[in-house]
Chains A and B, each alone.
Chain A
Amino acid sequence: MGRWKRWLHLADEFYKAPYRGAIAREKRDQEDLFMLLVFSELMGVPNPASYYTLELQPILLENFHDWHTRMGMEKSPLDNFRCC
């Protein structure tokens, strides 16, 4: 049974491993978009849902820092919003 489970695990990895990075990147792009929508008001983009998205900002603070670092910005691009 142990060997069978191993082969199933290998088959599963054979399926997932080649595209793991591509899928993770696509997910990350979607999350970036969502996060930027949450911060859209601060960036000067009118957002009718900002009353609600304001609540999410503290939760996404670390994501925001990761995002601006990934985009090559040393400091946060938002003047009144310092994550680092």
Chain B
Amino acid sequence: MVSMNAIYLVVTGVVFVLLGYRFYSKFIAEKIYRLDPNFETPAYTKRDDVDYIPTDRIVLWGHHFTTVAGAAPIIGPAIALIWGWLPAFIWVVLGTMFFAGVHDFGALWVSVRNEGKSIGSLTGEVISVRARNLFMIVIFLLLLMVNAVFAVSISNALVATPSSVIPTWSAIAVAVVIGVLIYKMHVPILWPTIVGTTILYAVIWVGDQVPVELPAVVMGLSAGPQWILILFGYAAVASLLPVWLLLQPRDYINGIQLFIGLGLLYAAVLLAGPEITAPAFNMDAKVIGAPPLVPLLFVTIACGAISGFHGLVASGTTSKQLDKEPDARFVGYLGSLGEGLLAIATIVVVSAGLGSSEEWRAVYSEFGMHGIDTFTRGGAGILASGLGLPVEFAATLLTVMAVLFAGTTMDSGVRIQRMIIQEWGTIYKMPFMQNHYLATLLAVSSCLVLAFGAGGSDGQGGMLIWPLFGTTNQLLAGITLLVISIILVKLKRPYKYTLYPMFFVTAMSVLAALYQLMGFFENGQYTLLAFDLLIIVAAILVILEGFSAFNREKANTV
């Protein structure tokens, strides 16, 4: 096998995605979305200084970039390396350039052009009300899966790396103190940031010295499931607290962590120049039980190539704060590069940091058993050889970083789930569902059913939810691209740049969902089977209605 230095991979990936921004996004901005600097955005037309307020594009970019680059661009590629590094790399780079960029950018643009409405709302307007209701169900299922799978990922990471326990939980205390200082005591941002970040990294050193392991068995539950329960308990409390106290400072620390983490990883790879020891294509994949590359690669790596979740972010708060329409290219397209860069970094460290080819194969001997821990193991060695950090400290640092990313998604996810349940309580006139605490309990219980239903009380195999999460995420992205395409048809503009990605992503998702259906049935995993069926039915209905709307609009414009 011819070995290759990881630097080539890094440089190729970064250059291509930047070329995508320089040329492809410019083409889309000028010829397809036709951004108009004189268009008055909803931040001005509906300004209320609550939701609608013009905001600096660098701030919006930073928010989009740090929101989309979370734990998923780490976990997905770590799992997908089972097929070799080349398929994952190509999908991440091309996906970021031609799928994610256009999707995030497009979701932001259509929302800005339509009074800041969310993609869900627009689905109701351009397709049908039934499609919108199904869309809301898909979003709820996605949140359920995000919370469940991240809880399993975090618990696996905390068990595998006991030195990360103290820093992970200390980060909550650091966030609360930062929240109080900035919001209540109006301390300017600089010193809480510097001191808070310094304390966080100091506590990482402490965690290294004082690893914490939960008891082996408590009430029949092993350490993994114990962590899952603790995490959901925490997420429930975090989602109920005032946002300024915990969620806001946690998001902020996350953003800082992301920039530092990306900087460290890329610097380490460039300085260490490790050789890639993973195969470009893993010929043993089928033998060790990996499902077929097509379609599963495209749902295993969602965030990192294209993710429907990001359209919700873009059309959620971002579109209501966009100052000028041309900013959408910078915020939406360039913002989506955050996930691509993190995914590329993961591919590199997992393909070059796990030792020799034989050692790599020993790690990748079974499908679905990889995640944050694999990323940590690969990255720690590279940080050690590239930057001279002690290996154990580097391992703890990377684990804490990934766990914090997943943790903030969990507590925000539970909060959004609770708000959706409360909204259903209002729409369907069920007062008990409008209660904060009951709605939170319902949200967390539904996630626990999935988390334990997937893996059983021993928590093993919880990562089986991952492809299902990716499938749902990609279906959401497909629906968003369909909505954008229909709007382009109405405007009599070329729509193939959003429609072709839509076909591909939707086809792969449906195929993956059907493939997994067989697997869940054969293995007797009826909870997952039920979720999968629900997703397939919802997706098919929305797509059929979507195409009906598409053809209707095409007929109207002839």
Interface residues of A (CB under 8 A from B): 8, 10-26, 28
Residue in contact with B189 in the complex, picked from A8, A18, A21, A23, CB distance below 8 Å: A8
Closest residue of chain B to A11, judged by CB? B189
CB distance from B417 to the nearest CB of A (A): 15
| Contact indicator B244/A10 (Cβ below 8 Å) | no
Stretch at the interface among B45-53, B201-209, B448-456: B45-53
For residue B438, CB closer than 8 A to chain A, the reply is: no
7 more A-B residue pairs beyond the given contacts A19-B247, A25-B50, with a C-beta to C-beta distance below 8 A: A10-B59, A11-B189, A15-B248, A18-B248, A19-B251, A21-B51, A21-B320
A-B contact count (CB 8 A): 59
| Contact indicator B63/A14 (Cβ below 8 Å) | yes
Contacts A12-B188, A15-B252, A18-B317; A28 near B59 (Cβ below 8 A): no
For residue B242, CB closer than 8 A to chain A, the reply is: yes
Contacts A11-B189, A23-B243; A17 near B51 (Cβ below 8 A): no
Kindly state the interface size class of chain B when it binds its partner.
20 to 34
| Contact indicator B321/A17 (Cβ below 8 Å) | yes
- In the docked arrangement, what's the CA distance between A28 and B51, Å? 12
Mask for B5-35, Cβ within 8 A of A = 1, else 0?
0000000000000000000000000000000
Q: Report 9 cross-chain contacts, Cβ distance below 8 Å, ordered by A residue.
A: A8-B190, A10-B56, A10-B59, A13-B59, A15-B182, A15-B252, A18-B317, A19-B243, A21-B317
| Contact indicator B317/A24 (Cβ below 8 Å) | no
- In the docked arrangement, what's the CA distance between A18 and B242, Å? 14
- In the docked arrangement, what's the CA distance between A20 and B80, Å? 37
For residue B128, CB closer than 8 A to chain A, the reply is: no
- In the docked arrangement, what's the CA distance between A13 and B63, Å? 10
- In the docked arrangement, what's the CA distance between A8 and B193, Å? 11
When distances are taken between beta carbons in the complex, the residues of chain A under 8 Å from B58 are 10
CB distance from B146 to the nearest CB of A (A): 18
CB distance from B412 to the nearest CB of A (A): 10
| Contact indicator B193/A26 (Cβ below 8 Å) | no
| Contact indicator B242/A26 (Cβ below 8 Å) | yes
Q: Which 9 A-B pairs have the closest CB atoms?
A: A24-B50, A21-B51, A13-B59, A19-B248, A12-B189, A22-B243, A15-B252, A19-B243, A11-B189
Tell me the interface secondary structure of chain B in the complex. Answer: helix
Residue in contact with B244 in the complex, picked from A12, A13, A21, A23, CB distance below 8 Å: A23
CB distance from A49 to the nearest CB of B (A): 26
CB distance from A73 to the nearest CB of B (A): 15
For residue B445, CB closer than 8 A to chain A, the reply is: no
- In the docked arrangement, what's the CA distance between A19 and B242, Å? 11
- In the docked arrangement, what's the CA distance between A12 and B190, Å? 8
Tell me the interface secondary structure of chain A in the complex. Answer: helix
When distances are taken between beta carbons in the complex, the residues of chain A under 8 Å from B56 are 10, 13
- In the docked arrangement, what's the CA distance between A22 and B416, Å? 12
Mask for B462-477, Cβ within 8 A of A = 1, else 0?
0000000000000000
- In the docked arrangement, what's the CA distance between A28 and B50, Å? 10
Residue in contact with A17 in the complex, picked from B50, B59, B242, B247, CB distance below 8 Å: B59
| Contact indicator A8/B188 (Cβ below 8 Å) | yes
- In the docked arrangement, what's the CA distance between A10 and B67, Å? 17
- In the docked arrangement, what's the CA distance between A22 and B51, Å? 8
- In the docked arrangement, what's the CA distance between A15 and B321, Å? 15
For residue B55, CB closer than 8 A to chain A, the reply is: yes
For residue B273, CB closer than 8 A to chain A, the reply is: no
When distances are taken between beta carbons in the complex, the residues of chain B under 8 Å from A12 are 188-189
- In the docked arrangement, what's the CA distance between A14 and B249, Å? 11
| Contact indicator B49/A15 (Cβ below 8 Å) | no
Contacts A21-B50, A23-B243, A26-B243; A11 near B193 (Cβ below 8 A): yes
Contacts A22-B243, A24-B49; A17 near B189 (Cβ below 8 A): no
- In the docked arrangement, what's the CA distance between A17 and B50, Å? 10
Mask for B220-255, Cβ within 8 A of A = 1, else 0?
000000000000000000000011100111011001
Mask for B333-354, Cβ within 8 A of A = 1, else 0?
0000000000000000000000
When distances are taken between beta carbons in the complex, the residues of chain B under 8 Å from A21 are 50-51, 317, 320
CB distance from A9 to the nearest CB of B (A): 8
Mask for B40-79, Cβ within 8 A of A = 1, else 0?
0000000001110101101110110001000000000000
| Contact indicator B62/A14 (Cβ below 8 Å) | yes
Residue in contact with A14 in the complex, picked from B53, B59, B188, B247, CB distance below 8 Å: B59
- In the docked arrangement, what's the CA distance between A10 and B190, Å? 11
CB distance from A10 to the nearest CB of B (A): 6
Within 146-191 of B, Cβ neighbours of A (below 8 Å) are at 182, 188-190
| Contact indicator B63/A18 (Cβ below 8 Å) | yes
- In the docked arrangement, what's the CA distance between A26 and B244, Å? 10
When distances are taken between beta carbons in the complex, the residues of chain B under 8 Å from A28 are 50
